Structure 1
Amino acid sequence: MRFNRSTSVALAGVLSLGLLTACSSSSDDSTTTKPSGTAGADQVTITVAGLEPGAKQDAVDQLNARVAAFETKYPDIKVEPQEYKWLASTFTTQLAGGTLPTVFEIPLTDGKTLIQNGQLADIDAQFKELSYAGDFNKEALAAGTGDDGKVYAIPAKSFYDVTLHYNRDLFTQAGLDPDKPPATWDEIRTDAKAIYDATGVPGYGMMALDNAGGWQLTAAAYSRGGRVQTTDGKTYTATLTDPAVKAQLQWLKDLRWEDNSIYPGADLGWGDINAAFAAGQIAMFTSGSDIYNALVENNGVTADFPYGLAPIPVEGADAGALTGGTFAAVKVDATDAEKEAAVKWIDFWYLSPLLDQTQAVDNATTRAAANQAVGTPVLPIFSRDQYELSLSWVKDQINVPLDHMKPYTDVMFDQPLVGEPSRSTQPTYGLLYPIVQAVLTDKNADIDALLATANTQDQALIDQGKEE
């Protein structure tokens, strides 16, 4: 994979080597762990982050089927799934209140901070029992490793990059070719207006309700070659006034007040924009490349939905698609028995389907039977070869519209990638999303002034080491 130079993120190279380097084992027994015990042994109960809140019954049924299979394999472990969605704003409260599940998910960017704060369990010993523990890309695993060299969080889901999601039917109704989606921000603007003029449906939607709005503004700015943070390796500098950030805000403002082609409200968060897109209320939006799974699980999207997937425009020097990933962690007060059971679940639920043919087929079969997505394109956490091998195992179960995802899959391994800002990530997004709201709701919003104020505030947060 080709990568651009990035001065903004200490973890900018986390994903690079693992995507193409053959670093993982592909033997069928590669995901085995030490036996958990036999029926009659002292039973351990763990709670696990299962699905996003509001998941459809089919998704719940598929998860329950996998839980049953896990409990058959490990009869001394009882698994209780619960709805869970990572939010930096609620994590500390959940931790203090004892309401976190035993196994929960965290974003790549928050791993180091949570480790340094002593908020994740040390699962190094249990991790090392995995037969493929040495097969992870070392740079990726480093994001879940503490300064003491111990593992506190495990790469658990394939990584994503921010992409363009679009409604093919709305393109057709506007006289546009859905097999040739827009490749530049100017083309997105032109197509958004054409769709609105022809159908009355907003041609574009923008997350703006919460930190997701700052995340997607950052993604767009990075795709234009900008940065919201730079570093010389020691000092981190807020750069919210970067011309690319201003250019994207002006672009949004133009869509709203000149073209009238963007969803006019500021009330779309991550889940809200998914729901609006699934309901045909917007034609295009940007989000993670893996979002099709959530559209199926939470929004009832089916195989006949006119879904299209394309890369985010990448324009100019240092431009790239913003990337991220998900790690699985264990609550800090877990007992040794709970930690052992938790890592077995992480192995079974997240990782075995990527490395073991039997587990891959079993997982894909239950997903397909429950009308869940199989084969959604993602960036692999082990290697490209292993990723493609795992897809070959489940080719008969793949049910996603791959033909309509070709604009993305044709280039997914060639896109330059850029990591998220590595200091005060969520606070930075929290300062940016009100500016997105401002340009969508106030025709006279002063972008320069808003960014200047936010930049001063952001630098203070970075200097204070503020991460929440």
Structure 2
Amino acid sequence: TLVAEIIREDDRYYGFPRDAYLIGLMCNLKLFRAAGLVNTDGVPLFPQTYSELAQMARIIKEKTGAAGFLLETNGNGGGWHFMNLAWSYGAEFEREAEGKWQAVFNSPEAVAALQYIKDLRWQDQVLPDHTLIDWSKAQELIATDQCAMKFEGGFDHNGFDHVVDHYNMAKEDIAMGRIPAGPGGRVALLGGNIYMFAPNSTKAQIDAALEWLRLLGMSPDVSPEGLQYIEDSYRNDFNNGYVVGNVGVPVWTDPEFIAAN
């Protein structure tokens, strides 16, 4: 997998893939309902293009007073989220030339993506008044009905659980959809998490760690213990009012593993 490439060097592996994700669009369903942006089944009408996103954001702002969309700007969130928009406008950030990497984001495509954000803020006036928004602030704005849409890691149980625990947001008001498409196509950042092993680990320690991951259902081997752990985790999520299920991208492609999950 792509995640495995991160932990491999010279055909040696130094870690273990944990999970993977694609950036998607997280929506506050309560605001979508209030703005009339749901179908007859209550499913949100996710914007398919960035033009549609701007249009929906204006409708939400007009009908609810809440910001229609937000972009993280603080910490590492600004670059993490802006890349999705810039790529969708056809921009590149770096390019290899003669064995060296060069920054190439000073381009008309990147400027067009920045202009889109500027228009959201000053022309459409659908972004929050807050300028510095980190991950925690973004979760707060979504959970407290101050904003309707944001980019979110598609696997992000931490984010979903956070808005339930800290702001009592009902899981029924949380929705995730595909990222919109721009002039350059529909492009979303792919990421993931890994477990790393200390370089001085003994074979016995590595074997024990791999067995522990198998018992947690995080290895490619389907085991009764691993499936039971996953089932117990889902049941715990349900009992605590969390989003239930595997919301990320499977790092293992074995059909038996995917079917079991």
Which residue, out of 319, 325, 335, partners 2:192? 325
Measured against aligned partners, the alpha-carbon deviations of 1:393-443 in whole angstroms (never above 9, x if no partner) come to: xxxxxxxxxxxxxxxxxxxxxxxxxxxxxxxxxxxxxxxxxxxxxxxxxxx
Gap regions ≥5 residues in structure 1: 1-13, 16-139, 392-468
Aligned pair count reads: 251
Structure 1 letter corresponding to 2:252: F
Measured against aligned partners, the alpha-carbon deviations of 1:281-329 in whole angstroms (never above 9, x if no partner) come to: 21000121112x1234323266543122111123345652211111111
Whether 1:234 and 2:95 are equivalent positions in the alignment is no
CA distance in 2, matches of 1:330, 1:274: 32
Whether 1:381 and 2:251 are equivalent positions in the alignment is yes
Whether 1:166 and 2:27 are equivalent positions in the alignment is yes
CA distance in 2, matches of 1:278, 1:376: 21
Which residue, out of 269, 274, 280, partners 2:145? 280
CA distance in 1, matches of 2:123, 2:170: 36
Residues 359/353 of structure 1: CA separation in 2 closer, same or farther (3 Å cut): farther
Three-state SS of the structure 2 residue aligned to 1:305 is helix
Structure 2 letter corresponding to 1:152: Y
Structure 1 letter corresponding to 2:253: S
CA distance in 1, matches of 2:112, 2:87: 11
Alignment correspondent of 1:305:
172
Residues 213/384 of structure 1: CA separation in 2 closer, same or farther (3 Å cut): farther
Question: 1:340, CA displacement in angstroms?
Answer: 4.2
CA distance in 2, matches of 1:324, 1:189: 26
CA distance in 1, matches of 2:216, 2:243: 15
Residues 375/232 of structure 1: CA separation in 2 closer, same or farther (3 Å cut): farther
8 A Cα contact 1:223 1:322, kept in partner: no
8 A Cα contact 1:193 1:261, kept in partner: yes
Pair member with larger Rg: 1
Structure 2 letter corresponding to 1:144: I
Would you tell me which structure has more strand in proportion to its own residues? 2
Which residue, out of 245, 252, 269, partners 2:134? 269
CA distance in 1, matches of 2:135, 2:111: 22
CA distance in 2, matches of 1:176, 1:324: 30
What is the RMSD computed on CA atoms of the aligned residues? 2.6
8 A Cα contact 2:220 2:254, kept in partner: no
CA distance in 1, matches of 2:160, 2:94: 35
Residues 180/297 of structure 1: CA separation in 2 closer, same or farther (3 Å cut): closer
Question: 1:153, CA displacement in angstroms?
Answer: 1.4
8 A Cα contact 2:72 2:81, kept in partner: yes
Question: 1:216, CA displacement in angstroms?
Answer: 0.5
